[in-house]
Amino acid sequence: MKQAETFAVTVIAKQFNGTGNLLLTLKRADALALPSYTPGAHIDVAIPLCGKRQYSLCSAAEAEDEYQICVRLDAASTGGSHWLHHQLNQGDSLTISAPRNHFPLPTSSRTLLFAAGIGLTPLLVMAEALAARAADFTLHLYLKNRDELAFSARLKSLGDRVVYHFSSENESLRQHIPDDLLFIENSVIVACGPEGFMQNLQRLSQQYGWNSDQFYTERFKPSTVTQPINTDSFDVEIASSGARFTIKQEESIAEVLEREGIEIDLSCEQGMCGTCVTRVIAGQPDHRDDVLNMKQKAANDCIVLCCSRSHSPLLVLDL
């Protein structure tokens, strides 16, 4: 496997940030400058015995010498959030990747940000960037109750651009539909949250006439695939060498390429992080990921190697 850039950081602060949320502040251990990033970017965090986990960067713009991530304790955690909450201490070291951004803030005359729970983390940075340039935007924040509110001071600084919705006060998306969804022209929706919330928001946006290319999302977990999966075997060709490999029904493209010694970047291996996005020179991918937006998938000029397959007998990859 090709190794992405990584470096050691020190946990300089560990603090609660609303009920169930842990805010970690990280500084580079070697005192060198941290790589810059744009709103929507995330990093991989290597967690002992758990592997890599992806977390959105949510540092304030002025905090150039540190990264912050906010981690919610997941009751169904496979170990990542539990370890960070209960075993990591201030002063400890972590290994992280350089930032990657497969959820960039789109350019639009008007931006509607929809965050549910800890889905606020990438959208808060986007909201602050939009506020800094006096752009037209609204951030809709959905929480179960007021105790869950994170980043309260930073949200307060955004003023009436933030609209709060608490399920405990009958303001969930299922109970109340924001008027903002009625105004579609020259607008985009940017959303992050649990799968149920995302599906409901997408259904509502389609119902009110929003086009798929106006809808930008990032999910917590891989979405459930509903369209039929092409399980037939197919071939991939490496453009630089002409080598061809058969991808059988039970294999992923990434697995086969790794076995054959082809260097590729891998991280989540669930179609969520975008590490293994690769350009397609010829062929028609069968997209199974949660990284590429609808326009990118329709272009069929790139593929997420860890989860996607092929509608055509051959894919030629730019490797």
Residue 20: predicted pLDDT: 92
CATH number, domain at 312? Answer: 3.10.20.30
Check pLDDT > 90 for residue 280.
Answer: yes
CATH number, domain at 152? Answer: 3.40.50.80
Residue 75: predicted pLDDT: 73
12 and 80 in a single domain? The answer is yes
45 and 115 in a single domain? The answer is no
10 and 78 in a single domain? The answer is yes
Number of domains the chain contains: 3
Distance CA 81, CA 22 (A): 9
Does residue 27 sit within a domain? yes
Cα angle, residue 94 at apex, residues 86 and 273 outer, rounded to 5° = 95
| Beta pairing class for 277-282 and 215-219 | unpaired
118 and 210 in a single domain? The answer is yes
pLDDT, tens only, 231-268: 679 999 999 999 999 999 888 999 899 889 888 877 76
| Beta pairing class for 277-282 and 314-317 | antiparallel
Lateral strand order in the sheet of 162-166 = 162-166, 136-143, 110-116, 187-193, 215-219
Q: Which domain holds residue 282?
A: 234-317
> How sure is the predictor about 302, in pLDDT bands with cuts at 50, 70 and 90?
very high
Does residue 36 sit within a domain? yes
Does residue 192 sit within a domain? yes
Check pLDDT > 60 for residue 109.
Answer: yes
Task: Pick the last residue of a domain from 219, 248, 265.
Answer: 219
Residue 1: predicted pLDDT: 42
The DSSP annotation for 42-74 comes to: EEEEEETTTEEEEEE----TT-TT-EEEEEE--
> How sure is the predictor about 118, in pLDDT bands with cuts at 50, 70 and 90?
very high
Does residue 215 sit within a domain? yes
Does residue 191 sit within a domain? yes
pLDDT, tens only, 25-72: 999 999 999 999 999 999 999 999 888 889 999 999 888 899 999 999
Amino acid identity for residue 284 in this structure: Q
Alpha helices in the chain, H assignment, sequence order: 80-86, 120-132, 152-157, 195-207, 253-259, 294-299
Tokens encoding 195: 């799968």
Task: Pick the last residue of a domain from 184, 219, 254.
Answer: 219
- Choose between 290 and 70: higher pLDDT: 70
- Rounded to two decimals, the pTM is 0.77
Going by the DSSP 8-state scheme, the letter that residue 3 receives in this structure is P
Lowest-pLDDT choice from 100-104, 200-204, 242-246, 293-297? 293-297
185 and 138 in a single domain? The answer is yes
Tokens encoding 53: 């986990």
Q: At 149, is the secondary structure helix, strand, or coil?
A: coil
